[in-house]
Amino acid sequence: MYILSNGVKISEKAHQRLCQAVKDTSRKHVYFLEMESGKLIRVSRANHQKFAAMRRESQRFIPLPRVSEAERRKRFVVFVEELGIIDVPELQKRLSKEIKKGASLEILEQILKPSGWIHGWVQDEQFLLAERIEEWITAPPLNARDDPDYWYDDDCPICQLMRKTEEENCSPNIDEMKTAFKKAEEQGAWVGEKLPEESEAEEESKYIGRAKDFKMPKWMECTWRRVPCGKDECPICGRIKRDHQRHIEKGENPDDLKSVFEDVGRNFKEALEMVKKDAENKGFNITNIENIKEPPEPKEFPLYGEVEKWNKSVTVLGDMAQVLGEFWIHTEAAADLFWYANTLMAKTYRQLCNRWHIKNGDDYGKFDHRYTGYILKECLKILKKSLRELLENNQSQKTELNSLLSKLLKLEKQIIKI
């Protein structure tokens, strides 16, 4: 994701660890980034000798910033205000009451958890952590820059062309695009429909480069990954930052409810424009989009019911661990388990709908089937890794964790065949 001033790369996984480290407000440990390797190092404050030695090498060991509970709580307050916009007034009312009483963030999160909106808050909190990491890592002495390899797949001819044209600040011509598409297809990539001939280019230029002709951009992962990239140029993370900065420059409070309403309205308008444009590119008349058949409800898909049952088992296990005071629920592996269990359930239903559209003759489902399939495989991979890590380091609830992994492996065979 980043390249430090000395050329050392910070991977996506390393970025996730940094985000979790800045959230640690226990004051029991101090975190450093080791410049020569790009590794995160945690030192106990009780280890005075090691702590002092690292402080002496201040050019090599760079201390991480901290995101205080007060700052996270302030972000939570804004999140609660947004709940009113999406019509969950009872939950918003209860949380607002507790906020006025001065309830801690931990208590507020516990109130939010049963509703399912806890996952929305976790995502929003990750945006905050990623923002702080970017502010810190791009400033002296780290002076990190974006890693172009993160945004473009070096093995993909189309990505290579996109990277080249971006670096040279120019647009690819038809011949270059046709060559890149041909090479990608020869490598076994899915590239959609053929490009128009040069004689057709001017008349049908609006169709060149439409989403289905290219691989899904890397930034789309910020819509479902537990830890988003937090980068300015990311259409997802960048928009949140730009909205925030615009209010500050206007002398407004970016966390004020009025500002939130304004941002939601603007983004909703942009979303409608994107939907209209996307529909037209796919051959749909936006005025007749109601002709697309409505897919069945989730309960009508037996496989969804099985995934939902598995997801509930994950939630029950997490609640039990919370009551018993188990440490494992505070680990990265646990955070991945809870996050991607919900993502798996949502994306399973989406993929079932895609398959239903395809079977019923709607091309609409084809546009999303491939990418959703990729998301499902990624979720399954992360969930299996998470459960295996937890099994290695957990004895008290090993039986329950083993049961979850066993059931997931059985579900995996069905999910990847959707």
For residue 344, pLDDT over 50 is answered with: yes
The pLDDT assigned to 301 comes to 93
Which helix (H) or strand (E) segment holds residue 203: the answer is none
Q: Name the most confidently modeled range: 121-125, 195-199, 287-291, 386-390.
A: 386-390
Q: Name the most confidently modeled range: 97-101, 180-184, 194-198.
A: 97-101
Ranges 24-33, 77-86, 203-212, 220-229: which has the least confidence = 203-212
Mean pLDDT, the chain, integer: 78
| 197 band by pLDDT with thresholds 50, 70 and 90 | very low
Task: Look at the block and give the residue holding tokens 């964790």.
Answer: 401
User: CA–CA separation, 252 vs 11, rounded Å?
Assistant: 36
For residue 206, pLDDT over 50 is answered with: no
314-318: Cβ within 8 A, 24+ apart:
314/338, 314/341, 314/404, 315/341, 317/397, 317/400, 317/401, 317/404
The pLDDT assigned to 295 comes to 83
Which of the two residues, 178 and 117, has the higher pLDDT score?
A: 117
| 394 band by pLDDT with thresholds 50, 70 and 90 | confident
Contact 317, 400 (CB under 8 A): yes
Adjacent-strand bridge partners of 10: 2
Adjacent-strand bridge partners of 112: none
Which helix (H) or strand (E) segment holds residue 88: the answer is none
36-70 per-position pLDDT tens digit: 999 999 998 888 888 888 888 988 999 999 999 99
The pLDDT assigned to 286 comes to 45
Look at residues 65, 42, 207, 31 and name the one whose alpha carbon lies nearest to residue 139: 65
Q: 17-46 burial by CB neighbour count: b if 16+ within 10 A, else e?
A: bbbbbbbbeeeeebbbbebeebebbebeee
| 86 band by pLDDT with thresholds 50, 70 and 90 | low
Q: Is the pTM of the predicted complex or chain greater than 0.75?
A: no
The 10 Å Cβ neighbour count of residue 223 is 11
Domain boundaries, the chain: 2-65, 154-198+208-213, 298-415
The pLDDT assigned to 185 comes to 65
| 169 band by pLDDT with thresholds 50, 70 and 90 | low
Q: Exposed (0-12), middle (13-18) or buried (19+): which is 160, by Cβ within 10 Å?
A: middle
Strand order in the sheet with 39-44: 39-44, 29-34, 61-63
The pLDDT assigned to 184 comes to 66
289-328 per-position pLDDT tens digit: 455 667 888 889 999 999 999 999 998 888 888 877 888 8
Query: Any idea which fold 298-415 has?
Result: Four Helix Bundle (Hemerythrin (Met), subunit A) (1.20.120)
247-271 per-position pLDDT tens digit: 677 777 665 655 554 554 454 445 4
Mean per-residue pLDDT, 364-378? 82
| 351 band by pLDDT with thresholds 50, 70 and 90 | very high
Contacts of 33 by beta carbon, 8 Å cutoff, 6+ apart:
18, 39, 40, 41, 61, 62, 64, 142
